[in-house]
Chain A
Amino acid sequence: MRVSLNWLKEYVDIDISAEELAHQLTMLGLEIEAIERPGAEISDVYVGKILSIDPHPDADKLVVCKTDIGKAEPLQIVCGAKNMKPGDYVPTAVVGAKLPGGFEIGRRKMRGIESQGMMCSARELGMGEDHTGLLILEGEPPLGADAKTLLGLDDVIFEVSITPNRGDWACMIGVAREVAALFGKTVRIPAITMTESTTPASSLSSVTIVDPDLCPRYIGRVLKNVTIKPSPEWMCRCLIAAGQRPINNIVDITNYVLLETGHPLHAFDYDKLGENRIVVRRAKPGEIMTTLDGEKRTLAEDMLVIADAKEPQAVAGIMGGGDSEVDENTKNVFLESAYFTPASIRRTSRQLGLATEASQRFQRGADPEMAVYAINRAADLMQKLGGAEIAQGLLDEYPNRIPVREVRLRYARCNLLIGTDIPEETQRDALLRLGFERVKSDDESATFKAPTWRPDVSMEVDLIEEVARLYGYDNLRVSLPQVRQSEMVFAPYEAKVRQLRRQLVDQGLTEIYQWTFSCPEDVQRTGLDASYMNMVTLQNPLSEKQATLRSSMIPGLMNNASYNVNHGVADMAVFEIGPVYRPVDGADQPEQRLCLGMLLMGRTEEKHWSSPQRSVDFYDLKGRVEAVLDFFGQDAVFNGVKFGPFQHGQSAVIVTGNQTIGYLGKIAPPVLKAFDIAQTVYVAELYLDPLLSGGQQANQFQEIPAFPPSLRDLAVVVNASVPVADLMKAVYDNGGKNLKQVNLFDIYTGEPVPKGKKSVALSLMFQSGERTLTDEETQKAMDKIVRKLQTAFEAELR
């Protein structure tokens, strides 16, 4: 909300600088986000009076004026405007004057005639958009006076951010109340001096509330013989300062009173209301009305409307209807001031997708008492500015009284909660200054009636906050708590996950952090099967590309690789730890699994002057996965599998026990193509939950062997298709109890190994904890191994 300081000063005395006031209000919770000085750039613009207007000898569209600015000689000014006449008062910029936008007035000739300044339009002074002619000043302002002050261009505008609980702040009187409370001043509420006619309003109209649950109070007034015309300049200036556009006196007055009191009003054309009366009711199913913005709106049964005898004329508290709109032909006005149930307004506003100044205020909770002042204030102004005859009396229906809340404040409780000793006197005083009324008190507490504009106050803590706020948060004590933890552990695996993340980084992987959004199309592009298409879908996604939550990390990793390849990055070794989601039938919440995704492409190492370059392959990725398994103290087997995203033969499922914990492999060429990547990519996806919950035992010490090991190498030639893991397992199983280690140290194909065969070289370590092994013992074990390999794998010794 925009708050004009000049306007605010009409309600409360302010004797500090704008900056200081902004700071104080901010520290009170009324946050001033920006301070604006609309006329800051303007200088040397004075009140001038046009003495004469003569045609320009050489230009049809220009005139030559003599304008008196209170100096000895009038100024000669060449001008293109047409709306002025001799005797008009206008803002006049002299030579050397500065206008908004860094525009400076110089002495110049226009079509041969010297011009000694410029007479200004509203737009040229930064006062709105009007550029149809000069800004003609009202009345007879003193010649040569500073036009900037006269026009309020010395004003300061605060851009105020208002929290949702403090709807009462969203008006001039609301801000003035806060200023008054802070500095111990009083708020000046404009007096109402209207005169009512002898015709009772009840003889001209009536108000019927059918649904008091949605409209606890409705007040109407009837005003006859109104003259519709533009509003006076002072009112326009206030509206413009608040960021609004003046329309006509009746509409402007309702807007002005809204800005002043915070209470929304609505003016109906009395003669356009069926039977000239008001019925407040829920809409009928399928009822349609056209709102002031020209939209045709279908109403629902739970929406409240203001109807006449026949049909809806306004969506209650949100927007009026076109049929009963006040226009230049309006003679008689029905003025509405009501209190609508906040939740109902909010619901309707959301359903219609229609938020207005009025709806914003009603949904935060209006002041049912301010409703009376506001309608009287508006009537008063319509009489003064539009000559309205005000019918006698209010049509005030108040079937559901809004309860006044009484809340007890225990002084000790206040101090206990805020940890500062604030004297009882100070606590009471703070609340009284804020408009609370003390209804009873005893030694340790006092009970206060909350002001009608404070629907947010209902509990003792609300009062405590008010005390703390006025006392100043910065003045409250500072201490450190004795932090006691629960004995319960809430996230047993978080520390382990953080540790894993650090370890992966230390091993040379870079972490990425992606949005968890995905879409079915990306799942398809990645080649994942239909089970991955079962995704958590958003009802209101930002875009089709972000319409679901990810069911796998692989599409995201591929998108990221694609992005980086497109930006010239060729080498990537990245990982992400994060959730993937899967809907669960019959449950509100999906299954959320913690995943580790890894992607490798390009070279294994950064370029270095001394190191040879090598491209990553399957075993680089497998080694990363094995390191993760080691981290969790888990063993796994890697079984060949057909998995959509991966190329067959370089695609494995990772299994521990009988549980699948992930996949790894080389991305298949069609998938690479779909992501526009022209290089080899390896990806792994691991489910961390089973690894985290697998339980990890502390390593148990093994006695360091006292006797030397006996070492043997073994090289065999087998069919190329024999899995080395099977071969090694056979070695272990047949090596006897003294075989402690088997290491693979070479795989070789090519000459002299026959085609279709490979040579596998192993080093074996035999060791006993009891004695030194003899050569014969070791040889016996070796012979058994070799025999087994010969029979099981047709292995030939090399």
Chain B
Amino acid sequence: MKEQIEALRSTALEEVAKTSDLRALEDARVKYLGRKGKITEILRGLSQVSPEERPVLGQAANKVRDAISDAIDARKEVLDAEAEQQKAASEAVDLTLPGRRPRKGHMHVINQVTDDILEIFFELGFQVAAGPDVETEYYNFESLNIPADHPARDSHDTFFVKPGVVLRTHTSPVQMRVMEKTQPPVAVVVPGRVYRVDYDASHSPMFNQVEGLLVDEGVTFADLKGTLMMFVHRFFGKDTQVRFRPSFFPFTEPSAEVDISCTVCQGKGCRVCKNSGWLEILGCGMVNPKVYEYAGYDTEKYTGYAFGLGVDRIAMLRHAISSIGHLYENDMRFVEQF
């Protein structure tokens, strides 16, 4: 009997070790440990041995049962792991296939650039203001010190709606609309459409500007330089060179135009910058006291600056867009590039 038990142990363990899947292992378990299994059979057979031998053999049989049970558990772990591996292998995906992306649209490049510009001035403490596209000559010209028959009107090729009413030629009329509403301090930026009767390879009859206005006590030309240099460095990168050139705008005095080192050739000279190494990006200056008079501001107490950025030009420079015509054509093959 004892030999029989030991023989059972070695056959069973051998058989368990040989099982190749969970099903075979289960069969082995039933065969040895099941209710009708071999161990049960032996334990039942103990009733026929002598009472002295019975506990010894019983203990031996239980030991073998435990050993087989342990072996089955161990084998199960191995087979489980194998099964998982097989399953994983069968579920492997082609990692190179493109994922399912949520569909995303494109913001128009003009608004992307406008937003980026505004963001910089918001951080500096400016707030946004707006005004109508159809303006009176009073706001568009007169109150900005551009009286009728002023030669500066020549450079504003103006669309007329009726006598005295125009499509605004710049965002500057919003300066006056803001100043009329409140005394200083005033710190606003004004994005918007503007219009000029001009349509060729480098002009669009509708285009976009961002206007800035800061009026308070003690605002200086040095502040204007600092603000715009910071803007240029944030927007075009800190290595960009900036220069201020005297210029003329009726509503600022002193006035300046701001050039940045050419973004294409880094100042070496190329077709885009007409070999000068510089690109003009904005006009600015200290608000002319005559404008304050129209606004009802104290011309001694307050000083301030104003500037106007051409969004189209900046967009074209930043994205190397070859022609202004693309901007408002809205060809999907263009719009979706940005």
Q: Which of B4-12, B28-36, B244-252 contacts A (4 or more CB under 8 A)?
A: B244-252
B100 contacts A by Cβ under 8 Å: yes
How many angstroms between the C-alpha atoms of A569 and B335 in the bound complex? 12
Q: Which of A88-96, A224-232, A472-480 contacts B (4 or more CB under 8 A)?
A: A472-480
A478-B229, A567-B333 given as contacts; is B182 within 8 A of A486 (CB)?
Answer: yes
Which chain B residue has the least Cβ–Cβ distance from A515? B206
Could you mark each residue 128-167 of chain B with 1 if its beta carbon is under 8 Å from any beta carbon of chain A, else 0?
A: 1110111110000000000011111011000111101101
Least CB distance from B315 to A in Å reads: 11
Q: Please name all residues of chain A whose beta carbon is closer than 8 Å to the beta carbon of B247 when the two chains form the complex.
A: 29, 31, 163
A560 contacts B by Cβ under 8 Å: yes
Scoring B152, B155, B244, B250 by chain A CB atoms within 10 A of each residue's CB, the highest score goes to B244
Could you mark each residue 30-46 of chain A with 1 if its beta carbon is under 8 Å from any beta carbon of chain B, else 0?
A: 01011000000000000
B155, A164: Cβ atoms under 8 Å?
yes
B330, A163: Cβ atoms under 8 Å?
no
Q: Please name all residues of chain B whose beta carbon is closer than 8 Å to the beta carbon of A510 when the two chains form the complex.
A: 105-106, 332, 335-336
A513, B327: Cβ atoms under 8 Å?
yes
Q: Please name all residues of chain A whose beta carbon is closer than 8 Å to the beta carbon of B161 when the two chains form the complex.
A: 536-539, 590
A419, B103: Cβ atoms under 8 Å?
no
Q: Please name all residues of chain A whose beta carbon is closer than 8 Å to the beta carbon of B160 when the two chains form the complex.
A: 538-540
A516, B128: Cβ atoms under 8 Å?
no
Least CB distance from A592 to B in Å reads: 5
A347-B149, A484-B187, A506-B104 given as contacts; is B205 within 8 A of A517 (CB)?
Answer: yes
A505, B205: Cβ atoms under 8 Å?
no
Could you mark each residue 87-129 of chain B with 1 if its beta carbon is under 8 Å from any beta carbon of chain A, else 0?
A: 0000000000110101111111011000100000000111111
Which chain A residue has the least Cβ–Cβ distance from B218? A416
Which chain B residue has the least Cβ–Cβ distance from A462? B253
How many angstroms between the C-alpha atoms of A567 and B110 in the bound complex? 22
Q: Please name all residues of chain A whose beta carbon is closer than 8 Å to the beta carbon of B222 when the two chains form the complex.
A: 418-420, 476-479
B105, A508: Cβ atoms under 8 Å?
yes
Majority secondary structure of chain B interface residues (helix, strand, loop or mixed): mixed
Scoring B125, B152, B254, B336 by chain A CB atoms within 10 A of each residue's CB, the highest score goes to B254
Q: Please name all residues of chain A whose beta carbon is closer than 8 Å to the beta carbon of B244 when the two chains form the complex.
A: 473-474, 476
How many angstroms between the C-alpha atoms of A417 and B185 in the bound complex? 16
Q: Which residues of B contact A (CB under 8 A)?
A: 97-98, 100, 102-108, 110-111, 115, 124-130, 132-136, 148-152, 154-155, 159-162, 164-165, 167, 178, 181-182, 184-188, 193, 197, 199, 204-206, 214, 216, 218-223, 225-227, 229-230, 243-248, 250, 253-256, 274, 286, 288-290, 303, 327-333, 335-336
Q: Which residues of A contact B (CB under 8 A)?
A: 26-29, 31, 33-34, 163-166, 342-344, 346-347, 363-364, 416-420, 459, 461-462, 464-465, 468-469, 473-474, 476-491, 494-495, 498, 501-502, 504-517, 536-542, 546, 549, 560, 563-564, 567, 569, 572-574, 578-579, 581, 588-590, 592, 605-606, 608-611
Chain A to chain B: the 8 pairs with minimum beta-carbon distance, closest first? A419-B220, A419-B222, A29-B246, A483-B125, A508-B103, A163-B248, A465-B254, A490-B129
Given A509-B105, A511-B108, A608-B100, 20 other A-B contacts at CB below 8 A? A165-B250, A417-B220, A461-B253, A468-B254, A476-B221, A477-B222, A478-B222, A480-B230, A481-B220, A486-B182, A508-B105, A513-B110, A514-B330, A515-B204, A546-B205, A567-B333, A574-B332, A589-B136, A590-B134, A610-B100
What would be 29 A-B contacts, judged by CB atoms less than 8 Å apart?
Answer: A26-B245, A346-B149, A347-B149, A417-B286, A418-B220, A418-B254, A419-B220, A459-B253, A461-B253, A461-B286, A465-B253, A468-B254, A478-B226, A478-B229, A488-B181, A490-B129, A491-B127, A494-B130, A501-B107, A505-B106, A508-B103, A510-B335, A513-B110, A540-B197, A541-B159, A572-B332, A573-B103, A590-B134, A610-B97
